[in-house]
Homo-oligomer: A and B are copies of this chain.
């Protein structure tokens, strides 16, 4: 895995952590950072030894979207927007489709293109200082990073509209209440809770998680009866895994199972 500016990877056990690290720009993305993010996430998503993928920022902030300081404010920015949105969208798609649990750890500000990255997690842990902002209309833009696809599915049509049209900054408690984030923790407990969560998920039944994740995603455009067929096909396929064998034995013997992700 090659070195990438502003993107650091850190692995232990089955957990791979991707850290966004451009603290002098509040982790705003330039093209190289977004490209590095997409490439690292794709490698880790495809790596079967990674059983839980974590995305977070360093320096007390998650990601504040595209770095606008080099933008010109005219039509030439179409190219700059495209150059960031292209890898950003690869990154978001990778998080949503990765065949393993993805945890995003959100602290400080998350705005613009960073919002899609944060919301793409299967589990979103928000530190109490997290602050979610849609932000695009402030600069006369619409939205990218999957935010317009994720928001209605997470918080419903009305709240999605509220975030887009009324320029709300959502704090961590409100984010959990409305469905942006899964849970919130005090800032001082953020790192520890993130480790606990991800090591639990990283020692879970990875293949079963991957199937359930895929099914939850496909549900949104499937009709019920075709989806039922798919659920049946996929659950019967898991009977051949070692994690199922371990899980059933643990259940029948009332012992916690030892899942190997196989």
Contacts and interface: CB of A to CB of B under 8 A. Distances in A.
A247 B68 CA distance: 11
A127 B155 CA distance: 23
A173 to B, nearest CB: 14
Contacts of A46: none
Nearest to A179: B158
Q: What's the dominant secondary structure at chain A's contact region?
A: helix
Contacts of A222: 149, 221
A221 to B, nearest CB: 6
Contacts of A187: none
15 contacts: A76-B239, A77-B239, A85-B235, A93-B224, A124-B158, A138-B257, A139-B251, A142-B211, A146-B228, A148-B212, A148-B227, A152-B216, A221-B221, A221-B222, A221-B223
Q: Which 6 pairs across A and B sit closest by C-beta, in order of nearness?
A: A140-B247, A139-B247, A142-B211, A140-B243, A148-B215, A140-B244
